Amino acid sequence: MLYRPVTRFLSTAPQCLTPPANPIIRWSSHFAPPRPHVNPGKKVTISKLQSLYRGNEPIAVLTAYDFPSGLVADAAGMDVVLVGDSLAMVALGMEDTDSVTMEEMLVHCRSVARAVTRAFLIADLPMGYYEVSPEQAVQSVMRMVKEGHVNAVKMEGGEEMAPTIRRITEAGIPVMAHIGLTPQRQHSLSGFRVQGKSAAGAVKVLRDAIAVQEAGAFMILVEAVPAEVAAIVTKRLRVPTIGIGSGNGCSGQVLVQVDMTGNFPPGRFMPKFVKTFANVWGEALRGIEEYKRQVKARDFPDVDYSYEIPEEELVKFRDSVGGGLRRKVESE
């Protein structure tokens, strides 16, 4: 038998040198998984997102940072996958999003883009690559699309970014705006604070939303805004809002994958709005600790996980390597 079923084959060495013929159950870490078989659904487009919005069906968005996180998000049927610049923290271990570079974002975008075949794929413009001028922004966006293989970009900012959003959409690239709490501006916001908590603050959120919509944004991420405010803003718009920490009245929701899958050590601070739907850290830790135990006890690998040599070949091999080694091998 050349291949083993997926449960065994996933973690074992390949027994052939060409990719397996039936990829749905026959791939390993030695071959890229067969993407179309993971989620064979039709590619999500902007018109599809608009029809979900018109039909009042919430749009499901999730972040991804690399090939496996993109693959699982697509397999689970996300409408949109976002390569968020939160990868600075959750994938690169940085303090915040300030230092992540365009080059780093592009590596992660390409990796996710190889995995995501169905969901609409959006990437964050990192801080420092779009604020200087609309021309700088267009150049960065073109790199995101041509080198990162994403379908659209997301950028932080409200009214003040409207000319830039207009210029990018005129260049033919869809823009998702990001208003409310904008983490790239954490220092001027005095930290990660809920936005729109006063009447004046709520008016600002609405003004920002209308400005980015009029500039051409096809979707607006609304972060950390009181639920009632986000719901009123959503009702005033003709493009979908995607909420994070902004209640249930938005047109869709987004979460950070590492947070919502519980892929972090216990004790880490989590914002109030993060619901943890799985315990990936706990399960991975349990498996890795058990692996360590079995390695130390010489329980792994047993015969089930080892290759065999025919007895007569083994005898010949022992004969050919001489007495010293034969004695050693036989004594084992």
Catalytic residues: 223
CB nearer to ligand KIV: pick between 33 and 180: 180
Find the radius of gyration of the CA atoms of the chain: 25
Smallest gap from Cβ 117 to ligand KIV, in A, equals 21
**CA dist., res. 25 & res. 6, Å (int):** 5
**CA dist., res. 219 & res. 240, Å (int):** 5
86 is a site residue for ligand KIV (CB under 6 A):
yes
Identify which of residues 33 and 73 has a Cβ nearer to ligand KIV in the complex. Answer: 73
> Closest approach of Cβ 124 to ligand KIV, in Å?
5
**Residue 188 CB, nearest approach to ligand KIV (Å):** 17
**In Å, how far from its chain's centre is CA 108?**
9
Least Cβ distance, residue 119 to ligand KIV (angstroms):
14
Query: Given the rule CB under 6 A, which of 83-91, 197-205, 283-291, 318-326 is the region that contacts ligand KIV?
Result: 83-91
Which residue, 27 or 239, has its beta carbon nearer to ligand KIV? 239
Residue 257 found at the interface with ligand KIV (CB under 6 A) = no
Task: Count how many residues are written for the chain.
Answer: 332
Q: Which residue is nearest to ligand KIV (CB)?
A: 84
Which burial class, exposed, middle or buried, applies to 269 when counting CB atoms under 10 A from its CB (0-12, 13-18, 19+)?
exposed
Site for ligand KIV in 126-145 (CB under 6 A): none
322 to 54, 68, 309, 318: CA distances (angstroms)? 79, 48, 18, 7
Interface of this chain with ligand KIV, residues 63 to 82, rule: CB under 6 A: 63, 82
Burial letters for 283-302: b for 16+ Cβ neighbours within 10 Å, e otherwise?
eeeeeeeeeeeeeeeeeeee
User: What CA–CA distance (Å, rounded) separates 126 from 265?
Assistant: 27
Binds ligand KIV (CB under 6 A): choice among 254, 258, 259, 262: 254
Work out whether 259 is an interface residue with ligand KIV (CB under 6 A): no
The binding track of 28-57 with respect to ligand KIV, each residue x by CB under 6 A or -, is: ------------------------------
> Toward ligand KIV, which CB reaches closer, 52 or 181?
181
Buried b (16+ CB within 10 A) or exposed e, 185-209: eeeeeeeeebbbeeeebbebbbebb
Q: Using the structure block, give the residue that is written with the tokens 């033919």.
A: 172
Least distance CB 116 / ligand KIV (angstroms): 15
Tokens at 136, concatenated: 């700088």
Q: How far apart are CA 53 and CA 245, in angstroms?
A: 20
Footprint of ligand KIV on 207-246 (CB under 6 A): 223, 244
Interface residues toward ligand KIV, by CB under 6 A: 63, 82, 84-86, 124, 223, 244, 254, 256
